[in-house]
Structure 1
Amino acid sequence: MAIRYPCLSLLLVVPLTTAACIGSEIEEEPEELVGAAEGEMISGNGMLPNALNRNALNRNGLTPSDLASRGLNPSQLSSTALAVIKDPGTNGSLSREMLRYTVSCALRPDQTFSFSWTDSSGIDHQEVYRGDLGYAHWWATQAIGNDTYVQHQITACLAARINWYGVSVTISLRNNELASTPEERAAYPVREGAFWGNVFAPTPYLGACYDPVGHVRARQVQRDCAAGHVEIDPVTGEITLQQCGPMVIWGSCHQLCNGLDSVNGYFKGCVTNYSVSPYVRTDQVVTTFLTPGP
């Protein structure tokens, strides 16, 4: 059956322009929509778990732009940002999650971000967030400021790890800075889609596209953010696709992105914002890969 993407104006974190949608149909079998989540963290390369809540990039909490002007460590955070990550309420929880994933994308495995906070029952919690990919390891001591290359790389990493269900599914992340080993490519051969954007910009944005084949496997393992989350009206049976928070799903990657890397299989660049221009592209894109089905 054909499932059409609605052009959504999303109210979460970022003001988005969604004047047009392309690649609006996917042929889908309903029994393949939902499957089991999988995976613990696998160390090395770009194989990482995702479970970043689609609401974690919330203007009521800590935002990436709050972090960019200072070093990514507790001693350099502003008093406002420090108060947010120590908030015992929902905003604090989402802010800590966003911070943990930012640290994972930006810092190296030998770097950590540590702090403590106290919950509403007076119980102290010690947080230690460890780096993984090292996109901006120097951020631990100095601001990334207006370095748009780094901003785009970290944004793509964050976008690739958003999960509609908040479940941990180990994925393989690949781009020009994340080469993969033969073993990783053999274990994660199913291309899901690609992610890009800049959540540090004055007008933040996130973009995604789906692989016309891989989206079926993505839904089996509860990865909905490249192809859209399926909602079925219990009364009418009407099917709509919801996007993951502020992310705009523009359509098929084969329509939006240029050539594939011949070894690692990632897209080398994608259209930044189709509603603005079909010609402006970004090379800071993360392509995600999944394990094969049974």
Structure 2
Amino acid sequence: METVMELCCTRLAACLVIPLVTTACIGAELDAESEALLGEAESALESDNGFLSNALSVNALSVNSLALNALSVNALSVNALSVNALSAIRNPGANGALSRDLLRYVVSCALRPDQTFSFSWTDSAGVAHPEVYRGDLGYAHWWTTTPLGTATTNNTYVQSQLTACLAARMNWYGISVSISLRNNEMTSTPAERAAYPVREGAFWGNLFSTTEAPFLRACYSSAPGSIARARQVQRDCAVGHVSVDPVTGATTVQQCGPMVIVGSCETVCNGVDYVNGFYRGCLVNPSASPWLRWDQVMTTFLKPAPSP
């Protein structure tokens, strides 16, 4: 499977429930029911090669929105969702918009192109809005009938692939950025590799687990020009967002919500695929263990800077 993704944010955010290990760009720790990382997605196949219009941004936060680890205990169908999940996606307010945006993301990563998730919600004026979200990558196409994870069925591999799929799309600014996503299930053509040669970084974790604490990690490529190119196109979640205090001029590097940037990929990852260039695995948590590795990693690639 080969996938190039176009990040094109129209409205910011949806929320991923995860214990906050940092308050870098969130500002405060939320309770277990509403800890959130927000994002927004607009998904549509653009070609037979798996081009996908999408976006994920952390420019806004919301509480009481759709929780991923709660979503995973039911089948991914409108008839199987919990009362709380249905209430979240049918909410006519701002939180409802965030929940629907996140659900659109989840569906695009989880279901196949021939599968859809359909429902409707009613706005404050009483106008009904039908929604049809189409799948694309098919990481968990069976989720429509079988829960993704429960106390007895914890599909860690699939949950991790879905998490990497979502995390790799995160964009601090929510602007259009074209990226190439690659891992052991998403390879690339020679043309794609030629068009997207700049390895930006990698993303991994598990936001869907119902038996372990959810987590999200990222690393950046320290190859010459990679960090500069990522910041040039405003892709700051792997390299960190540079913030300058308007009063003091002090510079700080912020992370994207609860996503923990653990350093350079060259230091924490290994086993680079010699054809497609993706990392085969990265350390789960380098600060805790120098050898425990996570194999469900998504590596992102950017287009080079235009020739002068």
Normalising by structure 2, what TM-score? 0.80
What is the root-mean-square deviation of aligned Cα atoms in Å? 2.0
- Contact 1:56 1:95 survives alignment (8 Å): no
Match of 2:144 in 1: 140
In structure 2, C-alpha distance between the alignment counterparts of 1:61 and 1:182, rounded to whole Å: 41
In structure 2, C-alpha distance between the alignment counterparts of 1:171 and 1:41, rounded to whole Å: 15
Match of 2:116 in 1: 112
Instruction: Note closer, same or farther for the CA distance 1:279–1:104 as it changes in structure 2 (3 Å cut).
Output: same
- Does the residue aligned with 1:98 lie in a helix, a strand or coil? helix
Q: Deviations over 1:145-164 (max 9, x none)?
A: 21000011100111101111
Q: Deviations over 1:66-122 (max 9, x none)?
A: 221221111111121111101122221111111111111111111111111122233
- The equivalent position to 2:164 in structure 1, one of 156, 164, 169, is 156
- The equivalent position to 1:186 in structure 2, one of 194, 218, 225, is 194
Match of 2:239 in 1: 227
- Contact 1:231 1:242 survives alignment (8 Å): yes
In structure 2, C-alpha distance between the alignment counterparts of 1:46 and 1:222, rounded to whole Å: 23
In structure 2, C-alpha distance between the alignment counterparts of 1:100 and 1:87, rounded to whole Å: 15
In structure 1, C-alpha distance between the alignment counterparts of 2:250 and 2:54, rounded to whole Å: 29
Query: How big is the shift at 1:14?
Result: 2.1
Q: Deviations over 1:1-33 (max 9, x none)?
A: xxxxxxxxxxx8422446xxxxxxxxxxxxxxx
In structure 2, C-alpha distance between the alignment counterparts of 1:86 and 1:118, rounded to whole Å: 7
In structure 1, C-alpha distance between the alignment counterparts of 2:181 and 2:66, rounded to whole Å: 25
Would you say 1:206 and 2:220 are equivalent positions? no
Q: Hey, which bits of structure 1, 4+ residues long, moved more than 4 A?
A: 44-47, 55-59
- The equivalent position to 1:86 in structure 2, one of 84, 87, 90, is 90
Match of 1:278 in 2: 290
In structure 2, C-alpha distance between the alignment counterparts of 1:291 and 1:49, rounded to whole Å: 16
- The equivalent position to 2:263 in structure 1, one of 251, 254, 257, is 251
In structure 1, C-alpha distance between the alignment counterparts of 2:191 and 2:299, rounded to whole Å: 17
Query: How big is the shift at 1:266?
Result: 0.2
In structure 2, C-alpha distance between the alignment counterparts of 1:102 and 1:45, rounded to whole Å: 20
Match of 1:103 in 2: 107
Query: How big is the shift at 1:167?
Result: 2.3
Match of 1:174 in 2: 182
Would you say 1:269 and 2:281 are equivalent positions? yes
Instruction: Note closer, same or farther for the CA distance 1:265–1:290 as it changes in structure 2 (3 Å cut).
Output: same
Query: How big is the shift at 1:44?
Result: 4.6
Normalising by structure 1, what TM-score? 0.83
Match of 1:34 in 2: none
In structure 2, C-alpha distance between the alignment counterparts of 1:16 and 1:84, rounded to whole Å: 21
- Contact 1:42 1:170 survives alignment (8 Å): no
Match of 1:125 in 2: 129
Matched AA of 2:67 = T
Would you say 1:165 and 2:173 are equivalent positions? yes
- Contact 2:17 2:68 survives alignment (8 Å): no
Percent of aligned positions that are identical: 66
In structure 1, C-alpha distance between the alignment counterparts of 2:61 and 2:45, rounded to whole Å: 22
In structure 1, C-alpha distance between the alignment counterparts of 2:51 and 2:301, rounded to whole Å: 9
- Contact 2:55 2:174 survives alignment (8 Å): yes
Instruction: Note closer, same or farther for the CA distance 1:211–1:41 as it changes in structure 2 (3 Å cut).
Output: farther
Higher relative contact order (CA 8 A, sep 6+): 1
- Contact 1:164 1:244 survives alignment (8 Å): yes
Matched AA of 1:211 = S
Matched AA of 1:52 = L
- Does the residue aligned with 1:75 lie in a helix, a strand or coil? coil
Instruction: Note closer, same or farther for the CA distance 1:141–1:45 as it changes in structure 2 (3 Å cut).
Output: farther
Match of 2:6 in 1: none
- Contact 2:241 2:253 survives alignment (8 Å): yes
Query: How big is the shift at 1:50?
Result: 4.1
Match of 1:3 in 2: none
Match of 1:30 in 2: none
